[in-house]
Structure 1
Amino acid sequence: MQINIRKRIVLPVVAAGVFFISTSFKDDFFEIAKQIEIFTEVFKTVNMNYVDQTNPGQMMDKAIKTMLADLDPYTNYFNEQDVVKFKINATGEYTGIGAVISRKEGQLIIREPYKDYPADKAGLKAGDEIIQIGTINIVDFKDDISQLLKGAKNTKIAIKYKRQGKIATTQLVLEEVEVKAVPFFGKVDDKTGYIVLTQFNRKASTDVKAALESLKKDGAEKIILDLRGNPGGLLHEAVNICNLFVPKNEIIVTTKSKIEQHNNAYKTTFEPVDLEIPLVILVDGKSASASEIVAGALQDLDRAVVIGSRSFGKGLVQRPIDLVYGTQVKVTISRYYTPSGRCIQALDYGQKDESGKALRTDAKNYNAFKTRKGRTVYDGGGISPDIALEETKLNPISEALQQNDALFNFATDYFYRNPSLGEKIPVLTDADYTAFKQFLKKAAFSLDTETQKTLKKAFELAQKEGIDESIKAEYNQLALAIQKSEDVLINKHQNEIKNLMVDELILRYQYREGLYKYYLKSNSEIKKASAILNNPAAYNKILLQ
């Protein structure tokens, strides 16, 4: 009888637990199924009854991408064409023309041809506007233009382009293009090596290791690892790069999620290359994700001095999941944490302001953490450097001149006015800068600063409400005042803007390798990194303070 009683007592309790879990699961499942059914009915009904012909594929693509955009910028849907691009970014290899291109306001512009790749061999230059690919006019082609520049190896593609107002033709011969994770390494001085890491693809750690070993063999006793502008990439490559400088079985990063299976600690797995070599890491506001893992982990482990400006703060982990018909969804599954426990993520996409922008943690609410040797570091998103350098931050005017292509277009104009500069470093005079300011006015460039955008939106709203005529004089007066203040700022930040021009021009004459060689001798951040490494007392004081 006692056994039967126990059965009566225990079984209902277990059954209640199962019922609770089952009910919870059924509720979630029912809600999902309900919403899918509603969406399917709407989608089918609209496509069958809409007055004009619809494109179901485009509608669904936009619907899914718009839905996911409300979560965070990194949870994305990839259609069949998108998947191909995503795999290119992960592997660093593809068959194509070997150039950075952009499509803006209907124009397809060559931004940067890679040396000795198809676009370069065909004679294309930065600033060239491609107007026809094969028999297809660019202005008439509304889909993904990059698909027209891909194909099997040795495929020949006829190109018509515009350069300085003149039309020309050439032929591209496609070949395998390897986007190098380490596009350059060299020596700042006899004892200081310099490695540029621009992305974390599948060859990143292998390339960094090869560069490190080559520099050490060539006499380097100190290393600068440049992660400025590096948007990140593969997590395991970040762990492997840290492993070059720290022992086996060291925790580099942990991930935390509401789902237990996504909670992981990532450790180093092999023997390091060098545990003692002094190391400086350069970061800026565009160093993100895997870059922040490397900088944050080596900072927390007191293995490197971080120099620059606070990094981007992208600490959300994504996992690609294959779907039907060759599509894919990349889902945010967890957050990154450095060895000291700092969360890298800066923006909280679950908390948004009235305009829909994700909220950033206020500096007064940052939390303190300790490195392995007891140094105080803080969270708040991104990695805050041990030595902050103002020059890693561009002022808003310089950023605006970059974003609206004013610097790019002026560099194109300068290049064709000075075709024989060759290996020489461009020296921009006061007369050149005056010419640049005249160029801005002649081309009627809009800097589109936040102030300008806000003013334009206000006037557009006034037009909609029919009150624009009554405020037009005041609007024009304010717009003129903003223009004058921008002119003042362009003069004030002349040196910074000139430096950006020189960078752009060196890319034209000497390709990216030439730019990195120039940086070795002239870049102020590299000079300060080198100075710290050449002062062991100052370097050790930072790591031991």
Structure 2
Amino acid sequence: MEKGEERGSIRNSPFQIKLPLFIALALVVGVLIGATTFSPSSNNPQGTARSYLKFRDILSYIDRDYVDTVNVEELSDYAISKMLEKLDPHTAYIPANELAMARSQLEGDFEGVGIEFNIFQDTIFVITPLSGGPSEAAGLQAGDKIVKVDGENVAGIGINNEGVFKRLRGPKGTQVGLTILRKGNKTPFNFTIQRSKIPTTSVDVSYMVDNKTGYIKVSRFSANTYEEFKQALTGLKKKGMQQLILDLRGNPGGYMDHAIRMADEFISGDKMIVYTDGKGDKYDSESHARVKGDFENGPLIVLLDEGSASASEILAGALQDNDRALIVGRRSFGKGLVQMPIPLDDGSELRLTISRYYTPSGRSIQKPYHGNPEEYEMDIMHRFENGEYFHPDSSLFADSLKYKTLRGRAVYGGGGIMPDVFVSRDTSELSPYLSQLYNKNVLREYTLNYYRDHRKELEKMPFSKYKQNFKVTDKMLQQVLQLAAKEGVVFNEAEFNRSKNLIQNNLKAFIARSVYGNAGFFPVLHDSDEEFQKALKQFNRAQRLAKGGV
């Protein structure tokens, strides 16, 4: 199993290695580069020595006597990867020829289609389309399987991260065709996506919702996230912000230190933010608030969902356990294992889990893992099938999973961060017809054409006037339907009527993005965002928390 992003993000934290497993794995690679000695683990030296010698002997016999010529380095890499699957879902081995791509991580802009992906069982799974990228605009969704790229089959061929990068990245303005399989649809979807520059800006937008409510959306924790966030927070305070919505939905995580520094802006004194616990105490650590933050007192709401992972969960868990924020949304992903990158002598790298993250109350962020990689990967889909997108999972409210916040509020473990206020996924306006409009890129294509034809008048209009007065007319909708028909989308009146309000909202939002950027896109989109609207109604409760209540 491999993990990565078309933008190259693999999220790990700089902790020291766990010696026993590191030695065993380093020895395996050492066979290939002529190593002849090793120091076995102090936990089970005889077992480690026997296992090492067994692997060495088998590899030597294969190399010397097997009937066909084999690439023993590839064989060893495969054996290592399969061995690591027995540990946990996030320990990983990165071969030397993939490491340069993997290390592009959260640094630097690049040009491509803009997705985060997993490779699982020889299939490319879309984790999330990156915010503001062409894949998001085209309508790719989390859970989509990429089976063909430009007509070439990429499923079941042993593709790796480098192979995905080579196919999906490319110069801005070039096009790539993707064939997608989506759960619930028997036939594949074909997308033509125009590559563009994918920035590493991680604060997508900050704006004043009204004269006292600020909003900041953080889409990932990359190299400049804290600085971007600090600038956004300062800007909102200058505009009179008294209460804040921090949106971490769909944020897959990143650098832990940026999440900790952000938490410190909200948490007073020297309260705990997060701690880690590994084997023994060698890799145990605690992080506490240490500076006077810029927003330690006002009402704070954090939006969270099943796409929020890792550093997002550290931040949300710290704010919830310290009674500093009200968490609104759905249970987060549940990624709470700490990996240490370990360079190996042949240029490859082992990313070894050496501890677990815990929230201040003692909750493990990591969701359960029972040694079945497929089951683990399908957890998000199982949540949908089990109805957790629409009501909280009652099995996670057992007394054995109950913890207490600083002021004694009950919070629950079980993997991920449980919200204080649950908001079901709004599917009331979704329809197969709307999905086809997304899949065929009809809405985005129409709005780009509309912007091109009305650019001068739109750019003269202040956003406040646009948001208040601009209407998507019936004539515009008819033009969309005509374009859809040309793209082979069969009209369905009942489904169109069901989705009409959402189509109008999306059209207005996409046009706003062309004119005003994200500063126009998100405020319009939020008019039809049930989770955002629910959060706005929870500030009385957030106010009680901010004033020391429960």
Deviation at 1:240, TM superposition (A): 0.6
Q: How many angstroms apart in 2 are the aligned matches of 1:391 and 1:50? A: 56
User: Which structure 2 residues correspond to residues 457-496 of structure 1 after superposition, within 5 A?
Assistant: none
- In 2, Cα distance between equivalents of 1:407 and 1:272: 46
Residue pairs, 1:389-428, within 5 angstroms = 389-391=423-425, 407=436, 410-413=439-442, 415-416=444-445, 420-422=449-451
- Partners of 1:418 and 1:46 in 2: CA distance: 60
**Partner of residue 344 from structure 1, selected from 346, 365, 368:** 365
Q: C-alpha displacement at 1:388, in angstroms?
A: 1.0
Q: Distance in 1 between matches of 2:535 and 2:244?
A: 9
What residue in structure 2 maps to residue 73 of structure 1?
Answer: 89
**Aligned-CA RMSD value:** 5.4
Give the structure, 1 or 2, with the largest relative contact order (CA under 8 Å, sep 6 or more).
2
Counterpart pick for 1:36 among 52, 59, 70: 52
8 Å Cα contact 2:138/2:439 also seen in 1: no
Match of 2:266, SS?
Answer: coil
Question: Which of 520, 523, 536 lines up with 2:529 in the alignment?
Answer: 523
Q: Could you tell me whether the CA contact under 8 Å between 1:181 and 1:200 is conserved in 2?
A: yes
Matches within 5 A, 1:124-139: 131=150
* 2:303 aligns with one of 264, 278, 282: 282
Q: How many residues align?
A: 454
Q: Name the SS for the 1:288 alignment partner.
A: coil
Deviation of 1:293 (Å): 1.4
Bigger mean CA deviation after superposition, 522-531 or 99-108:
99-108
Name whichever structure is richer in helix by fraction: 1
Q: Distance in 2 between matches of 1:222 and 1:212?
A: 11
2:11 aligns to what?
A: none
Matching residue within 412, 429, 434 for 1:378:
412
What's the CA shift for 1:269? Answer: 3.0
Q: 2:302, 2:316 within 8 Å by CA — same for their partners in 1?
A: yes
Partner secondary structure for residue 390 of structure 1: coil
- Return 5+ residue gaps in structure 1 as ranges: 1-23, 443-486
TM-score, normalising length from structure 2?
Answer: 0.65
SS at match of 1:282: strand
Once the two structures are aligned, what percentage of the paired residues are identical? 26
Deviates more, 1:222-231 or 1:50-59: 50-59
Which residue of structure 2 lines up, in the alignment, with residue 145 of structure 1? 163
How far off its partner does 1:502 sit?
6.5
Indicate the residue corresponding to 2:324 in structure 1: 303
C-alpha separation in 2, matches of 1:108 and 1:235: 25
Give me the whole-angstrom Cα distance separating, in 2, the residues matched to 1:493 and 1:257: 54
Give TM-score, length-normalised by structure 1: 0.66
| C-alpha distance in 2 between matches for 1:251 and 1:398 | 42
Deviation at 1:378, TM superposition (A): 2.1
What's the CA shift for 1:492? 9.5
Matches within 5 A, 1:195-234: 195-234=216-255
Helix, strand or coil: the match of 1:202? coil
The SS at the match of 2:103 is helix
Q: Aligned partners of 2:366 and 2:116: how far apart in 1?
A: 30
* Offset, 1:97: 4.2
Structure with max Cα Rg = 1
**Paired residue for 1:464?**
none
Counterpart AA for 1:386:
D
1:319 equivalent to 2:323? Answer no
- Give, in angstroms, the shift of residue 31 of structure 1: 1.5
Give the one of 79, 99, 109 matched to 1:63: 79
Structure 1 pair 500–60 and aligned structure 2 pair: CA distance change class (3 A): farther
Structure 1 residue 227, shift from structure 2 partner = 0.6
C-alpha deviation, 1:244, in angstroms: 0.6
Q: Could you say which residue in structure 1 is the equivalent of 2:549?
A: 544
Q: Deviations over 1:355-413 (max 9, x none)?
A: 89999975435333222222222222222111111137x79x979x89xx965763424
Q: Structure 2 counterpart of 1:517, which letter?
A: P
State how 1:183-262 maps to structure 2 within 5 Å: 183-262=204-283
Distance 2:80 2:503 in 1: 39
Unaligned runs of 5+ in 2: 1-39, 141-145, 180-188, 380-392, 452-457, 459-469
- 2:202: which partner in 1? 181
1:289–1:504 distance in 2 versus 1, CA, 3 Å: farther
- Relative to structure 1, the CA distance from residue 503 to residue 30 in structure 2 (aligned partners, 3 Å threshold; closer, same or farther) is farther
- Give the superposition deviation at 1:214: 0.9
Comparing 24-33 with 140-149, greater Cα deviation is found at 140-149
